[in-house]
Every structure is written in structure tokens, then in C-alpha cells.
Amino acid sequence: MTRILISEVGPRDGLQSIDRVMPLAAKQAWIAAEAAAGVREIEVGSLVPAALLPQMADTEALIALARTIPGLTVTVLVPNRRGAERAIRAGTHKLSMPFSMSETHSLKNVRKDHAAVLAEIAAVAALVADQPAETRPYFEVGLATAFGCTIEGPVSEDAVERLAVATLEAGAAEVGLSDTTGYADPAAVRRLVRRVRRAVGDDRLNTLHLHNTRGLGLANVVAGLEEGITTFDASLGGLGGCPWAPGASGNIVTEDLAFMLAAMGCDTGIDLPALLAVRSIVADALPGEPLYGFTPDAGLPLGFAA
């Protein structure tokens, strides 16, 4: 049975994309309940200035809570070395840094061109390398807008390959491909995964961050599975998108992804009824906020056994 990791990104990517701030207690309950349902990795927040994203102001408190949960990998998004320093002090297990393949999006998102982002990646990598081996976090860079950009349009696959190689040369442990704007299709996923893996090695690309903006999210997951991808980001209820990419709503729904993988015979370690029950925590904390997903509405098929 194929072992697949679902990395829950709702507490970060989901909540940063809505105006309201979810109460800390509700976020803590959400994270604890998903971990209890068998989710093994959760991106609990983003260490950016609170003035920019007040929704993320309590990330360090969430790291503290999440670190007490046995078996849970605690992930945090960091935009730069300063954010990485905060994450390391808080004790996060994994750092995720975005690197937009669209330079226009990069300038809008983090106010840095490609050369400046690569320098920042090198600075974070050096900081990580300086940490004691027993507490050193894993450092992954997500290649955002890898399939296209709502601001710039098509993104060159040549550029994605070149920048993936440059990212690893700067010191990141791994790269992931992110369909930040919902431009990907299954053929593009297969093509770009193969191309980047040929350039960097199969073991340096294991993660896809996919959106369902145009209804192709799960189809793109299947394409990734067929190419050997073993980690997929998803957001409970499909919350989120990218506040700096207009029209790029629609993370793939954690509940639908977990059901599809179980139906296909993949092992995620997730208890589906328990996962479906987590949705009420988010719904109660964010009344009126749209939540998506077919599996939560339809329920599990009669006789279904994961």
C-alpha cells in the first residue's frame, strides 16, 4: 500500500486569505482535532509581521501547542531569514519558504526579485545549518506560480527548472511545486514533475501544492501520484488561496483528498469520520464563511472501509 502524506495548510494558507481572524482557541482546537484524526503534518501559520497579516499574529502560540502533540510535524511558512529566526526559536520542525517563479508575483508577494530571493534562501539555509543537529528544522522551498501566474501569465518551464536547481544550490533541502493560481492540468503536472526531477533528483521533489480553482485539483493529484509524488498540501473545507494572486482561490479540500486517496488504496493514516468531524470546529469559529467539499456533503459511501 502506497504511503501518502497529506499536509494540512488551512491554518496558514486558508486563514491568511480571509478577512476575519479566527480566535486562537479555535485554531488550537482545529489543529489538535486534525492531529487526533491522523493528520501527520500541519502548517500552523506564517511568521510575517502582524501588521501585514493579522490573521497570523498568534503563530508562535500555535507552534507551542502543536509541538506538544506526539507524532505531528509542525510546519511554518517563513518569507525570509528574520521569519526563520523566529520559527527556530519557537521550535518548529519544518520551514517552508515561498519562491515565486513569476518575478512579477515575487515582487508583489515579498517585494524581492529572483536574485534577492535566492540570496534570502541562502541566508536561511546558512542559519538552519548552524543549528544543532538534534533540533535543526527541515528547510523546503515551495516554487510558487510554477504553472502560471494571474499577473504575468504563462511561466516558462525552462525558468522553473533553472530556478529549482538554483534553489537547491543555495542550500534548501528540497523543492515543491505550487500551483498557486490554479493554472495546472494533469499533463502539465506530469511534464513539470518529470522535468524538475530530472534536473534535481527524485528525492529532492516530493511535494505538490495544488489549487482547485478550475476544478482540476484532484485530477492533478492523480497525475502527481503517477509520477511518484508522495506529499500533497490541502486545506480543510478548501479554505484559502493567495491574497497576492487575484482570482486564485481554491485550495484542494482535505476531506475530498483524504477520501480519494483511501478509495484508491493509499495509506494516509487518517480516520475519515474523525476528519469530517473537524469541519464543525472551523464552521463554528467562522460562521458564514464558505466551506467546500463533496465528501462532507455526501458522506462516506455505505460500507466504505478505508
Task: Say if 303 falls within a structural domain.
Answer: no
* Percentage of residues of the chain with pLDDT beyond 90: 85
104-125 confidence digits (pLDDT tens): 889 887 889 999 999 999 999 9
83-104 confidence digits (pLDDT tens): 999 999 999 999 999 999 999 8
Q: Burial level of 139, CB count in 10 A (0-12/13-18/19+)?
A: buried
pLDDT of residue 266: 97
In this model, does residue 225 exceed pLDDT 50?
A: yes
273-302: average pLDDT:
95
Q: What is the CATH number of the domain that holds 188?
A: 3.20.20.70
Task: Say if 171 falls within a structural domain.
Answer: yes
33-50: average pLDDT:
96
Task: Say if 129 falls within a structural domain.
Answer: yes
- Candidates 192, 199, 158; CA nearest to 177 is 192
Q: Burial level of 201, CB count in 10 A (0-12/13-18/19+)?
A: exposed
Task: Say if 304 falls within a structural domain.
Answer: no
Mean pLDDT of the chain: 94
- C-alpha–C-alpha distance, residues 285 and 100, integer Å: 32
Task: Say if 81 falls within a structural domain.
Answer: yes
pLDDT of residue 151: 87
**pLDDT higher at 33 or 50:** 33
- C-alpha–C-alpha distance, residues 204 and 198, integer Å: 10
Task: Say if 40 falls within a structural domain.
Answer: yes
In this model, does residue 247 exceed pLDDT 50?
A: no
Q: Fill in the DSSP letter of residue 12.
A: I
The catalytically annotated residue of 90, 210, 242, 275 is 242
pLDDT interval class at 241 (50, 70, 90): low
Give the domain extent around 125: 5-298
Number of domains in the chain: 1
In this model, does residue 181 exceed pLDDT 90?
A: no
Task: Say if 125 falls within a structural domain.
Answer: yes
115-172 confidence digits (pLDDT tens): 999 999 999 999 999 999 999 999 999 999 999 998 889 999 999 999 999 999 999 9
Task: Say if 306 falls within a structural domain.
Answer: no
Q: Is 242 a catalytic residue?
A: yes
In this model, does residue 279 exceed pLDDT 70?
A: yes
**pLDDT higher at 178 or 150:** 178
> How many other C-beta atoms lie within 10 A of the C-beta of residue 190?
15
> How many other C-beta atoms lie within 10 A of the C-beta of residue 231?
18
In this model, does residue 204 exceed pLDDT 70?
A: yes
63-69: average pLDDT:
97
pLDDT of residue 192: 98
Grid coordinates of 183: 493554472
